Amino acid sequence: MSQSMEDRTITAKQAWAEFELKCQEVNEIETVLVYLENGLVSSLKRAEPVVAVGNDVVAVCASDAFWQLLDLYREAETRRRDLFAARDYVYLVYQAALLRPYDG
């Protein structure tokens, strides 16, 4: 998709292959996000209460691993949004390629 302006012709078949690739990448990053979410939940379950009022826990002390998982989750979520945008763009390219005949 990052060809020079003179050679930007792409067939519908090429665009569809790129779209399928982006869909696969979205599925992979969503699997990573589920894994990270499970890790975050597990880490919070092991967290020690720091401040408690009666039976209600007001604050907990999370481990360094929790904060590292949270950073990884943020990066993965940003990557997922980027992949959604790339997938949507490639799909629009595919639709445009269907509308014009290939001259090459």
4 within domain boundaries: no
45 within domain boundaries: yes
pLDDT beyond 80 at 94: yes
Q: What is the pLDDT of residue 101?
A: 62
Q: What is this structure's pTM?
A: 0.74
2 within domain boundaries: no
User: 80 Cβ partners below 8 Å, 6+ apart?
Assistant: 26, 29, 30, 33
For 1-55, the pLDDT digits (tens) are 555 545 567 888 999 999 999 999 999 999 999 999 999 999 888 877 777 677 7
Handedness of CA 93, 99, 103, 104 (dihedral sign): positive
Q: What is the residue range of 91's domain?
A: 11-99
Q: Which two tokens stand for residue 87?
A: 């997938």
Q: How many domains does the chain have?
A: 1
* Alpha-helix residue ranges (DSSP H) falling in the chain: 12-45, 64-99
80 within domain boundaries: yes
